[in-house]
Amino acid sequence: MSLDSWQKATLALQLLAADPGLGGIVVRARSGPVRDTFLDAVKCLPGPIKKIHPAMTDDVLFGGLDLSATLAQGELVEKQGLLDAAGTLILTMGERCSAGLAARLAMVMDRTTDHRLIVLDEGASPDEMAPAGLTERCAFHVDLTDAGLSDLAEIALADGVSVNAALPQSALTEVTEIAARLGIDSLRAPMFASRAATGLAALAGNTEVTAADIETACVLTLTHRATQMPQEAPPQEDQPETPPEQPQQENITLPEELVLDAIRALLPDDLLDQIAAQKARSGKGNGSGAVRKGNRRGRPLPARQGKIADGARIDLIGTLRAAAPWQTIRRRSTGRDGLHIRQGDIHVKRFAERTDRVLIFAVDASGSAALARLAEAKGAIELLLAQAYARRDHVSLVSFRGREAELLLPPTRSLVQTKRRLASLPGGGGTPLAAGLKEALAQALQAKRKGLTPTVVLLTDGRANIALSGDADRQAATQDAIQMAQVLRAQGTDALVIDTGNRPEAALKTLAATLDAPYLPLPRADAQRLSSAVASALDG
């Protein structure tokens, strides 16, 4: 089964039109004529089309107080939200959708099948995408990034398609097994595959599902969810034959290996690297500085009840919205007309601003790292410097070798100065890993005091042999490194561990687990590969 991106988009839209129970489609594409052509076809879906964006508030989505009508009539008047009526929702900039909005939309989709969701994802990298909780509820994912105008064909949506074909239990079991072999742990995946198969049969005018329908459905709904290359099926024991007196259930001969081959052909070669990068970023924010609440600048947050103090700014709309329901009562109790505002009505503005981030590179310059590996680490850091400069990140450089660690460069945004210090980084001697972590911790704490968000990037082969005391004791050195890692984790400092050894080091993997940090073993990695792995794990 070979489908190009536009064919997949066409089938996905036709199936979604026939069966709203398929949830929706995640469309990865930049703004342009290709996406516009697809959206023109989306407008033919049943029901009204409603556009929403990540900054949309709850009162717009779910309805709420109509302030002007309430003030005019003197009684509570509510307005209808966008989600109150069935239709097609188009979420723009899905990669910027907050977890809160994703959860609320997911709740609506779980509660009813009245809404079809089109998520427009404009992410520039594989790990910059819409929240998983939202994409999980969309059966299809199409990538139109590489589609050209010559690839486009008209998308015709059939009217009045009745989906009434049933999938035999045996086929549903095999679809579930295929999903398991692809590393998909969600039961929505085989459910979507079965619904898509019955929808394909309906579109073809058939009352029975064929093996070809199931194969196409698996390609459409399972490929983008795969987390591993297909595993070999375990050998099955001989099953006792069904007694002849029992009626045989009609089964579909599902070419499971052919389905897996079709899905395998569509999986990217760097699937595992993409999954590792996504896991590396999970729970670590979006690669930028930490979010903190302020009252002066940044991204607006919903207003909250509060007092005008410490420079807080009053939110006029929020305050009037809180006071509006009580105007009639207050006018009667006071005998005065006009607008009555009480202390409890006051709402203040809030903003979410991000701190600047500082990347603290802790580089193993010991003899065990070998001059070749040190040269690769230098090359990778130099490649990352340009990316950090573009993001306006601060960069700090810590080197550990011999019996101690040394701060080569305090946090700076100077690209020239960082490259100069990096080029002069010497190599040789023991591996005081604990001392390197201690110096990185000191720099992280200092950065926090200055309002920066630190991230420690540790590049080492993990063969610690110098303890904090300066003694050459491998066991004590390992224990000291674990203790320093525990302190770093207790301080809430994000970290990333790069194993630059020729072979993955088990002790370094344990250290990464102690840090609660992603572990990236990169044997035989050159500077370019090392740079790409770190960049994808940190910021994409």
Q: Which domains does the chain have, with CATH numbers?
A: 5-161 (3.40.50.300), 167-228+251-267 (1.10.8), 292-354 (no CATH), 357-538 (3.40.50.410)
The predicted pLDDT at position 408 comes to 82
Interatomic CA distance for residues 406 and 383, integer angstroms: 22
Q: How far is CA 26 from the centre of its chain?
A: 13
Q: Which two tokens stand for residue 506?
A: 């088990």
- The Cα–Cα gap between 217 and 11 comes to 10
The whole-number pLDDT of residue 347 equals: 84
**38 in Cβ contact with 130 (< 8 Å):** no
Residue 296 structure tokens: 């002066």
Tokens (6 digits) for 325: 């329901």
Model pLDDT, residue 435: 93
CA distance 185 to 216: 20
Using only C-alpha atoms, what is the Rg of the chain?
29
* DSSP secondary structure string for all residues of 130-195: S-HHHHTT-SEEEE-TT--GGG-----PPSS--------HHHHHHHHHHHHHTT---THHHHHHHH
Residue 22 DSSP code = G
Residue with tokens 């790069």: 498
The dihedral formed by the CA atoms of 91, 93, 95 and 98, expressed in degrees to the nearest 10: -70
The pLDDT value given to residue 480: 92
Question: What is the dihedral sign for C-alpha 278, 282, 288, 293?
Answer: positive
pLDDT digit string (tens) for the chain, length 540 residues: 457 888 888 999 999 988 888 999 999 888 888 899 999 998 888 889 999 988 888 878 888 777 767 777 777 788 888 888 888 999 988 888 888 888 889 988 888 888 899 999 887 666 678 888 888 999 899 888 888 887 788 888 877 677 777 777 888 888 888 888 888 888 888 899 899 888 888 888 888 888 888 888 888 888 888 877 665 555 555 555 555 444 444 555 555 565 666 555 555 555 545 555 554 444 444 445 555 444 445 566 677 777 665 556 788 888 888 888 888 888 888 888 888 888 788 888 876 655 678 888 888 888 755 555 566 666 666 766 666 666 677 888 888 888 889 888 888 777 777 777 777 777 778 889 999 999 999 999 988 888 788 889 888 887 888 999 888 898 999 999 999 999 999 888 888 888 877 777 888 889 999 998 888 876 655 556 666 666 565 554
Structure tokens at 106: 């997911």
Helices within 365-414 (DSSP H only)? 371-391
**Three-class secondary structure of residue 286 per DSSP:** coil
Name the nearest CA neighbour of 311 among 292, 301, 297, 291. 297
What is the torsional sign of CA 210, 212, 216, 222? positive
**Angstrom distance (rounded) from CA 118 to CA 136:** 13
Which one-letter DSSP state was computed for residue 239?
P
* Beta-bridge partners for 455: 359, 494
Gap between the Cα atoms of 225 and 189, Å rounded: 8
- CA-nearest of 519, 498, 508, 500 to 478 is 508
Alpha-carbon distance of 42 to 186, in angstroms, equals: 27
> Residue 101 corresponds to which tokens in the numbers above?
């909005």
If one counts every other C-beta atom within 10 angstroms of the C-beta of residue 194, the result is: 22
Cα(32)–Cα(395) distance, integer angstroms: 36
What is the C-alpha to C-alpha distance for residues 432 and 69, in angstroms, rounded to an integer? 70
CA atoms within 13 A on the CB side of 473: 11
Give the pLDDT score at 147: 81
Query: How are strands ordered across the β-sheet holding 115-121?
Result: 49-52, 87-91, 115-121, 24-28, 140-143
| Cβ–Cβ < 8 Å for 522, 530 | yes
C-alpha–C-alpha distance, residues 354 and 416, integer Å: 26
Check residue 63 and give its pLDDT.
82
Environment class of 170 (CB within 10 Å of its CB; exposed 0-12, middle 13-18, buried 19+): middle
- Characterise 350 by phi-psi region: left (phi > 0), alpha (psi -120 to 50), beta (else): beta
Structure token pair of residue 301:
């947050």
CA triple 508-513-518, angle to 5 deg: 85
> What was the pLDDT predicted at 434?
92
How much of the chain is in helix, strand and coil states, percent to nearest 5? Answer: 45, 15, 40
Place of tokens 């807080």: 312
